Chain A
Amino acid sequence: MEPMAIVSIFVLAVFVGFEVVSKVSSTLHTPLMSGANAIHGVILVGAIIVADHSSTNLELGLAVAAIVLATINMVGGFVVTDRMLEMFKGNKK
């Protein structure tokens, strides 16, 4: 990919990231942290890509470990965030 395109994506994503959470109330800090945490579990995609083109046992072993860790991060993160938010919802009058 063009370096300039990558830099543009990066800079714009920084501003979007700043903007979307700038007004969050302290009530939601815990779920937000947990939710953002789950999103970076998408490194799973990267782990699958490197597992696909692993050519030695060492590479494959490390890639498999990466997939396990990334899956825990992603799936566990979303599930636990949902559990927290479910309770907030049941609370509404």
Chain B
Amino acid sequence: MSRTLYDLVGLAAGVAFILALKGLSHPKTARRGNLIGAFGATLATLVVFFYANPGSSLPLNNLGWILGAMLVGLLVGVPAARKVQMTQMPQLVALFNGVGGGAAALVAIVEYLHLGVEATTAEVIFTVFTVIVGCVSFSGSVITFLKLQELMTTRPVIFPAGRFIIAATLVSVIGVGGWVVTALGTTPLLVLAALSLLFGVLFVLPVGGADVPIVISLLNAFTGLTVAASGYVLDSVLLIIAGTLVGASGTILTRLMAEAMGRSLFGTLFGAFTAKPQDTSGAAEDRPVRSGSPDDVAILLNYARRVVIVPGFGLAVAQAQHTVRELADLMISKGIDVAYGIHPVAGRMPGHMNVLLAEANVPYDQLAEMDEVNPTFGQTDVAIVIGANDVVNPAAQTSPGCPIYGMPILEVSNAANIIFLKRSMRPGFAGIENELLYDPKTMLLFGDAKASLTKVVSALKAL
């Protein structure tokens, strides 16, 4: 296959990726967009096997190894993607992003070893960039995975003199990068990789649980840029186009997410260092709360005219999506006006709750976005908060210095009655006490969300 034809196919795949991102931006075309992207990627992969790179012949050298490695990747990737629970989506995206960054860094290292002293300065600079950013993306994604999987604390990890250690690591990463460019050699490059891995860990540790998705999105954009840089070293137009597209769109997406949470990107990444210590001395456990029975809840709902359901991640953990839909349908059949108030970051990542409710076949038109539903809480008789906490926490509006301060919230406190379905008094993912739980118009229904909702449904049916 000629170089021209090879590049044309690469361009076609690049166009497919543009169409994919374009399609993914609208609900009606999203699935088709993703399939176009998958088609482009398949095409780009197949065509490499028929193009002899300068200095190699067809069929490709090491063909057995290449195909075997792809098979292993398929055997790991496809079952993981098929079997993952929708609740664990953020972790999986983080992992997939991390392995992509790792792959880019490895490709850069191999190419560097291969070129040896023949590498041009520009190629070395791009290699250094790819190794740094790819390694940061890899180790950073692993930490986000551990946080989301709750294998480690979801709170910001702050160590003494943390920001100085991080700054010092960054300076040494850049210093060693310069060393690689001037000295050329395998050892400096491996030192660079190790330091970059360390920096990725240090960079993500101070980020609080609720902000982790923004970091994943940012690392996703980083990985895109490393792919673009690899494209320069490997002389591939396709990699440059694809990598740049992901880098640019990922940056915008990161900003959109940060806006939805009312956070600046800088605050997300470094907020833990500047936030004042939390005032947790209020001895929260001692204060009285009003807890109710499923019957109390059913009576309250029976006489309501408008009910807003605020689902959170706890709903999905309890696998209660179907039960909540049953409750909503029952209320609608009783002539009650029902809406779901969806916070943009409900769940563990932006848009996550929409995916989770879609899985339970909740009709699209009942899902109200935050800006839509907030003005209606004044006319709402009952707001049912199911397994959500941070997205309704008034601390976001009232207590400067708390990690979620400034995040727009669902203003359920304007509703006439608030019902919280909770497993315990444990605070939410961001680890912040919620004043609303102690509000006199709040009733708490403790227990597993699914079991509680089932009881409420049968109590409501009996009325």
Contact = CB atoms under 8 A, between A and B. Distances in A.
Contacts of A16: 18, 245, 248
A29 B259 CA distance: 12
B38 interface: yes
B436 interface: no
A46 B227 contact: yes
A53 B224 CA distance: 24
B244 A14 contact: yes
Contacts of B462: none
A20 B25 contact: yes
A71 B253 contact: no
B92 interface: yes
Given A39-B21, A78-B38, A90-B361, A18 B252 contact: yes
Contacts of A34: 89, 93, 96
Interface SS majority for chain B = helix
B403 interface: no
B56 interface: yes
A17 B30 contact: no
Nearest to B260: A26
B56 A87 contact: no
A30 B349 contact: yes
B191 interface: no
A80 B412 CA distance: 34
B243 A69 contact: no
A36 B224 contact: yes
B66 A87 contact: no
Contact of B364 (A9, A26, A79, A93): A93
Name which of A35, A42, A89 has the most chain B CB atoms within 10 A of its CB.
A42
Interface residues of A, number: 83
B25 A24 contact: yes
Name which of A1, A17, A35, A59 has the most chain B CB atoms within 10 A of its CB.
A17
A29 to B, nearest CB: 4
Contact of B41 (A6, A32, A38): A38
B216 interface: yes
A17 B69 contact: no
Given A49-B53, A71-B70, A26 B224 contact: no
Given A31-B24, A45-B48, A80-B92, A9 B240 contact: yes
A34 B38 CA distance: 12
Given A6-B240, A27-B354, A62 B109 contact: yes
A43 B24 CA distance: 21
A75 B35 CA distance: 11
A52 B234 CA distance: 12
A15 B408 CA distance: 29
Interface stretch (B80-88, B155-163, B311-319, B333-341): B80-88
B238 A42 contact: yes
Interface SS majority for chain A = helix
B93 to A, nearest CB: 5
Interface stretch (B110-118, B419-427, B445-453): B110-118
Given A50-B107, A72-B77, A91-B363, A24 B24 contact: yes
A24 B256 contact: yes
Contacts of A4: none
Interface in B71-128: 72-74, 76-78, 80-82, 84, 86, 89-90, 92-93, 96-97, 99-100, 102-104, 106-107, 109-111, 113-114, 122
B62 A9 contact: no
A43 B34 CA distance: 17
Contacts of B97: 37, 40, 73
A52 B38 CA distance: 23
Contacts of B93: 30, 33-34, 37, 80
Interface in B179-236: 216-217, 220, 223-224, 226-228, 230-232, 234-236
Given A48-B48, A71-B72, A72-B80, 9 more contacts: A13-B241, A27-B351, A39-B21, A40-B246, A43-B227, A52-B62, A64-B69, A72-B96, A81-B24
29 contacts: A14-B247, A17-B245, A18-B252, A20-B249, A21-B253, A28-B25, A30-B351, A36-B220, A39-B246, A42-B239, A45-B44, A48-B48, A53-B53, A53-B61, A64-B66, A66-B102, A68-B69, A71-B69, A76-B81, A80-B93, A80-B96, A81-B34, A84-B86, A84-B358, A86-B31, A87-B359, A88-B354, A88-B358, A92-B364
